[in-house]
A and B are shown apart, each in its own frame.
Chain A
Amino acid sequence: MENRKGVILNIGPVHPATHGVLRLIADLEGDTIENIKVDIGFLHRGKEKLAEMRYFSNYYPIVDKLDYVSALQMEILFGSVVEKAAGITLPPRAVYIRMIMAEIQRIMSHLVFIGSFGMDVGNYTGFIWAFREREELMTIVESVSGGRLAPMYICNGGTFYDLPENFNQALTPVLDDIEKKINKDYRALFNDNNIFVMRTKGVGVINKSTVIENGITGPNMRAAGIKRDLRRDEPYLAYESMDFEIPTEESGDSYSRFIIRIKEIIESIKIIRQALKNIPTGPYKTSVPWLLKIPEKQTFVRQEVSKGEMAMYMVTNGGLTPYRLKIRSPTFFSLKMLEKILKGSKIADIVAVVASLDPVMGEVDR
Chain B
Amino acid sequence: MTSELVEKLKSGLKGNITVISDDGVNDVVVLSDKKLIKSAAELIKGTHDILFMLTIVDRNPNFELNYLFSNYRNKNIIILRVNITQDDYKIDTVSKVFPSADWEEREAYDLFGIEFKGHPDLRRILLPEDWPGHPLRKDFEVTDDVRNWTGLDLKF
Binding site for B on A (CB under 8 A): 40-41, 44, 46, 48-49, 84-85, 212-215, 221, 226, 228, 230, 233-234, 297-300, 302, 309, 311, 313, 315, 323-324, 326, 328, 332-333, 336, 365-366
Contact = CB atoms under 8 A, between A and B. Distances in A.
A323 B25 contact: no
B68 A300 contact: yes
A288 B58 CA distance: 29
Contacts of A333: 100, 103
Contacts of A332: 103
A311 B52 CA distance: 9
A315 B103 contact: no
A44 B126 contact: yes
A298 B51 contact: no
Contacts of A230: 75
A215 B51 contact: yes
B57 A226 contact: no
14 contacts: A48-B111, A212-B49, A214-B99, A215-B100, A298-B24, A298-B25, A300-B24, A300-B77, A300-B79, A313-B53, A326-B56, A328-B53, A336-B102, A365-B126
A311 B53 contact: yes
Contact of A326 (B55, B100, B135): B55
Contacts of A85: 24
Contacts of A233: 74-75
Contacts of B25: 298-300
Given A215-B50, A234-B75, A300-B68, 16 more contacts: A41-B125, A41-B126, A41-B128, A44-B126, A46-B135, A212-B72, A213-B100, A221-B72, A298-B23, A300-B25, A313-B66, A313-B68, A323-B57, A326-B53, A328-B52, A328-B53
Interface of B: 23-26, 49-53, 55-58, 66, 68, 72, 74-75, 77, 79, 99-100, 102-103, 111, 124-128, 135-136
A278 B128 CA distance: 51
Contacts of B66: 298, 313
A311 B77 CA distance: 13
B63 to A, nearest CB: 11
A335 to B, nearest CB: 8
A-B interface, 5 closest residue pairs, ranked by CB to CB distance from nearest: A215-B100, A215-B50, A41-B126, A326-B55, A328-B53
A324 B55 contact: yes
A197 B126 CA distance: 35
B23 A297 contact: yes
B99 A44 contact: no
Nearest to A329: B53
Contacts of A366: 126
Nearest to B81: A298
Contacts of B75: 230, 233-234
A227 to B, nearest CB: 10
B108 to A, nearest CB: 10
A136 to B, nearest CB: 36
B106 to A, nearest CB: 10
Contacts of A226: 72
A222 to B, nearest CB: 11
Contacts of A40: 125-126
Nearest to A311: B53
Nearest to A235: B75
A326 B65 CA distance: 12
Contacts of B128: 41
Contacts of A221: 72
Given A300-B25, A333-B100, A313 B55 contact: yes
A49 B136 contact: yes
A324 B57 contact: yes
Contact of B99 (A41, A213, A299, A302): A213
A300 B57 CA distance: 14
Nearest to B103: A336
The interface centre, meaning the residue of A46, A48, A300, A309 with most chain B CB atoms within 10 A of its CB, is A300
Nearest to A48: B136
A365 B135 CA distance: 14
